[in-house]
Structure 1
Amino acid sequence: MEIFGKEAMKTIKRALMGGLALSGLLFAGAALAVGDSPGGPAVNEINLQPPASAIAEELYHLHTFMLILCTVIFVGVFGVMFYSVFAHRKSKGHKASHFHESTTVEIIWTIVPFIIVVLMALPATKTVVAMKDTSNADVTIKVTGYQWKWGYDYVKGPGEGISFFSTLSTPRAETDGQAPITATYLQEVDHPLVVPVDKKIRIITTANDVVHSWYVPAFGVKQDAIPGFVRDTWFKADKVGTFRGFCTELCGKEHAFMPVVVEVLSADDYAKWVDDEKKKMAAGADDPNKTYTMAELMERGGKVYTSNCAVCHQPTGKGAGAFPALDGSKIANGPIAQHVSLVLKGKNAMPSWAPTLSDVEIASVITYERNSWGNHTGDILQPRQVADARNGKLPEGGDHTADAAGAAAASGAAAASSGGEAASSAAPAASDSMASQPQAAALPANVYFETGKSTLPDDAKAAVDAAADYAKAHPDAKFTLSGFTDATGSADVNAKLAKSRAEAVRDALKAAGIAEDHIILKKPETVTGGSDAKEARRVQISPAA
């Protein structure tokens, strides 16, 4: 038993040493993997971030003062206690004293803590009062928390009228562990808040869904954003630079994915930014009355989906956990009215997108969802239909699940019948049903290519035939062809390859009887077709109107 005990202890000791060594390697690896975040937390940082405002400076000094004061108290109290225990121990012949009370001691230990509390409270109160004084602001910005992004509206001062959303821009490959992380991992956004230096910025916070909290450590500012309530705070940055913060209120699945990034500019640079931003807003203003093509809606919808929907429903449309798949779903293939209503009103964990997205954005993303992945409805939703839906008039049609079921039933009835009037009537009915909407199940269609090749593959016939059938049913229809490649190869080579593939499909469509002036080669914003290499090497055929 004694030998067994010694061996067991040795085993436990070796296991502990191995665990400690492994932990050390892991921590060392983590420290080496990522450096200091510019304007954000630093590796092994144990103190507050360097202050970039007067309030943050005061908080830093208060923190240091309190820490020193508490350390002195700790050392004094425990020093006396441990000295008394050691110096008056029983082994040296000391005996415990017995006394009942001491008024003097009681007065001392009441007055001294009171003085200490006053010394701590006076400077702290002064700072807290200053933190709450939001008067005489140079710029007022409304900050709205959403799951999971920030909305910024410049409501007063230079920049008034500017508004935008700020969304995490860290690539999904990093968050999914498929690529090494960078120094700004989960601390970078597509559109940071921009403010001028040495100007008082009033921040008004609220939220659209759940409680969030807007926090930038370098400015010493943190304010909860609560649905249905308005709170305010302020800061005055005293140096130019980029400063990073976080949502500090647990707000759901993607809580860690809504950082705060603030860019502080000089007065001249800020004025230039305001001018440029207003020009961009004017140039990029959507026309809700325009009739958009399928290609335009798909391109815009892909961006809207990536920024707003992919975090839950995934870039592949397959969903995750409590978030349902859109690929092949009843929503994306069923009545379009239900799809529009769900996006506008929300349901369960899905928020309402009516106050967040414009009519053009909603039309784009719904069109994208109904014509991406395995969904080939051919439906096009226009912004004016979304505007009507906001007023209670939902669009009609688009129930492709019912069409598919009806076509299957008619086909089965025709096959089962041995002849007669019933059979002769069922077959034309099935034929008419399929001819009435040939595009619904076929377009947009994809032609997939081999790596590095632009030769039309043998299985391209189905997509070409689908386009030809669509053209017969819609003689005035035009088609857009967009070529894509996988991520391998240089940008120039990929651009040429994508164009060659689109031209190969164009020639096939011409051979199928589609007039050349009805075929439009449209270069996508990026020719890289996605992370799935096989899916990426494609040419997409879409109705242009």
Structure 2
Amino acid sequence: MRCNRRALLYAGFFYAPLASADWQLNLIEGATEISRSVYSLHMVIFYICVAIAVVVFGVMFWSIFWHRKSRGAKAAHFHESTWIEILWTIIPVAILVSMAVPASTTLIQMYDKNNAELDIQITGYQWKWRYQYLDQDIDFFSNLTTPADQISNEAIKGDNYLLEVDRPMVIPAGKKVRFLITSNDVIHSWWVPALAVKKDAVPGFINEAWTLVDQPGIYRGQCAELCGKDHGFMPIVVEVKSAEDYQLWLQQQGALKLAQQQSAERDWSVEELMSRGEEVYKQSCLACHQAEGQGIPNVFPALAGSPLMNETVDEHIDVVLNGRSGTAMQAFAEQLSASDLAAVITYERGAWGNQGGAVSVQQIKEMLKE
């Protein structure tokens, strides 16, 4: 038994460094001038704290060892000392000033949002992000795309587990970008460590932040505020492109918007609506209503067998478009296109044994006009 314990102990010492090799215990330097300034400030404050700890604990341990009672030491008796009072006032003030100067410089840089070349409004939803490019007529939602079988531990987790999205935020390299951050429902927090940006998204308020990334690359982050059941499934991906690639991306977004408009004009078969609706459901509805439409008892209602799915089509459409006050049901009128709305409603009314019938894109467009 003692030998087994000793073997386990040796194994622990041998494998611990390997297991901890990928641990990130310190801040990262990041990809922007501000992030590097924050890192430098952090290290300056850290070393000041280390120096203070070494001096204080060194004096304390030296005093305990050399002036212990067993060596015959006797405590000095004095009531006050002007010099000591001056020293313990001047030294802390000098330390605080040495910390305040670089901290203030970095904070002034972080809050200087002037002369931005691009404005993006970021809105937090449960549980996704919406990006609106205010001067370029671009508006889209960014959703988690990590496969469900990885989340349920039925498949090997990928390199970017829970940090993958269908549509990343795209910004140009070398240009100052201002973020206007808010929320549609509860408090979220938009956090990308490599950009040194972390701002709360608060309903009814707009917080500002900015970044300027020198080199193209992909930078990942997460919601950093506990915002509900799927808080851990709300990733952020920022893709920085060169000026030429960014212009190409803008053209692609224009073509994508035109394709969405055209899809709302054509006639969709029931089979096409069901197929597309299943994809939209997995993306936007599955987290609450579950894969088989069974919902979560006492939290999210079941869709399978629901009278809403089988009878009152107008009420069903209204709930999906406008949400339901006092519940967690969101309004999807702005989140999904007319064709996607028709597809997901058709899917909900035809899946899991429901017999509610299909909904046309034209019905959705008429309801959106009201």
Calculate the TM-score normalised by the size of structure 1. Answer: 0.63
Structure 1 residues 189-338: aligned runs within 5 Å: 189-286=165-262, 288=264, 290-321=266-297, 322-338=299-315
The letter of the residue matching 1:176 is S
Residues 1:186 and 2:162 are matched in the alignment: yes
Work out the CA distance in 2 between the residues paired with 1:350 and 1:196: 35
Q: 1:26 to 1:91 in 2, by over 3 A?
A: closer
Work out the CA distance in 2 between the residues paired with 1:106 and 1:180: 63
Q: Which moved more, 1:332-341 or 1:303-312?
A: 332-341
Q: 1:167 to 1:26 in 2, by over 3 A?
A: farther
State the partner residue of 2:149. 173
Work out the CA distance in 1 between the residues paired with 2:169 and 2:242: 14
CA deviation after TM superposition for structure 1 residue 318, in Å: 2.2
Contact 2:260 2:337 survives alignment (8 Å) = no
Work out the CA distance in 1 between the residues paired with 2:94 and 2:4: 52
Q: Give ranges in structure 2 of 5+ residues lacking alignment.
A: none
CA deviation after TM superposition for structure 1 residue 180, in Å: 1.1
The letter of the residue matching 1:178 is E
Q: 1:114 to 1:142 in 2, by over 3 A?
A: same
CA deviation after TM superposition for structure 1 residue 43, in Å: 2.4
Contact 2:174 2:212 survives alignment (8 Å) = yes
Structure 2 counterpart SS, 1:184: coil
**CA-to-partner distance for each residue in 1:192-221, whole Å, 9 max, x for gaps?**
111111111111111111111111101111
Work out the CA distance in 2 between the residues paired with 1:210 and 1:17: 52
Q: 1:20 to 1:297 in 2, by over 3 A?
A: farther
RMSD: 2.7
The letter of the residue matching 1:275 is Q
Contact 2:277 2:344 survives alignment (8 Å) = yes
Structure 2 counterpart SS, 1:253: coil
Work out the CA distance in 1 between the residues paired with 2:63 and 2:109: 45
**CA-to-partner distance for each residue in 1:434-476, whole Å, 9 max, x for gaps?**
xxxxxxxxxxxxxxxxxxxxxxxxxxxxxxxxxxxxxxxxxxx
Q: 1:306 to 1:24 in 2, by over 3 A?
A: farther
CA deviation after TM superposition for structure 1 residue 188, in Å: 0.8
Say how many residue pairs are matched: 367
Contact 1:363 1:383 survives alignment (8 Å) = yes
Contact 1:247 1:256 survives alignment (8 Å) = yes
**CA-to-partner distance for each residue in 1:73-117, whole Å, 9 max, x for gaps?**
011011101110111000000011121111211121111111111
Work out the CA distance in 2 between the residues paired with 1:354 and 1:281: 16
The letter of the residue matching 1:328 is G
Structure number with greater CO (CA < 8 Å, separation at least 6) is 2
Structure 1 counterpart SS, 2:261: coil
Residues 1:370 and 2:349 are matched in the alignment: yes
State the partner residue of 1:344. 321
Of the two, which has the highest radius of gyration? 1
Residues 1:94 and 2:70 are matched in the alignment: no
Percent identity, please.
44
Q: 1:300 to 1:121 in 2, by over 3 A?
A: same
Structure 2 counterpart SS, 1:163: strand
Q: Which moved more, 1:191-200 or 1:288-297?
A: 288-297
**CA-to-partner distance for each residue in 1:261-296, whole Å, 9 max, x for gaps?**
111111111111212222222223255455432123
Q: 1:19 to 1:233 in 2, by over 3 A?
A: farther
Work out the CA distance in 2 between the residues paired with 1:51 and 1:69: 22
Q: 1:27 to 1:81 in 2, by over 3 A?
A: closer
State the partner residue of 1:66. 45
CA deviation after TM superposition for structure 1 residue 241, in Å: 1.1
The letter of the residue matching 1:88 is H
Calculate the TM-score normalised by the size of structure 2. Answer: 0.91
Work out the CA distance in 2 between the residues paired with 1:337 and 1:298: 19
Work out the CA distance in 2 between the residues paired with 1:234 and 1:205: 10
Work out the CA distance in 2 between the residues paired with 1:23 and 1:229: 50
Work out the CA distance in 1 between the residues paired with 2:293 and 2:258: 33
Structure 2 counterpart SS, 1:150: strand
Work out the CA distance in 2 between the residues paired with 1:385 and 1:335: 14
Q: Which moved more, 1:343-352 or 1:306-315?
A: 343-352
Q: 1:22 to 1:232 in 2, by over 3 A?
A: farther
State the partner residue of 2:60. 81
Work out the CA distance in 2 between the residues paired with 1:143 and 1:254: 19
The letter of the residue matching 2:134 is V
Q: Choose the corresponding residue for 1:115, options 90, 94, 97.
A: 94
CA deviation after TM superposition for structure 1 residue 386, in Å: 2.8
Work out the CA distance in 2 between the residues paired with 1:56 and 1:184: 22
The letter of the residue matching 1:374 is G
The letter of the residue matching 1:385 is Q
Work out the CA distance in 2 between the residues paired with 1:78 and 1:385: 75
Work out the CA distance in 2 between the residues paired with 1:80 and 1:339: 74
Residues 1:151 and 2:151 are matched in the alignment: no
Contact 1:286 1:360 survives alignment (8 Å) = no
Q: 1:276 to 1:388 in 2, by over 3 A?
A: closer
Q: 1:380 to 1:236 in 2, by over 3 A?
A: same
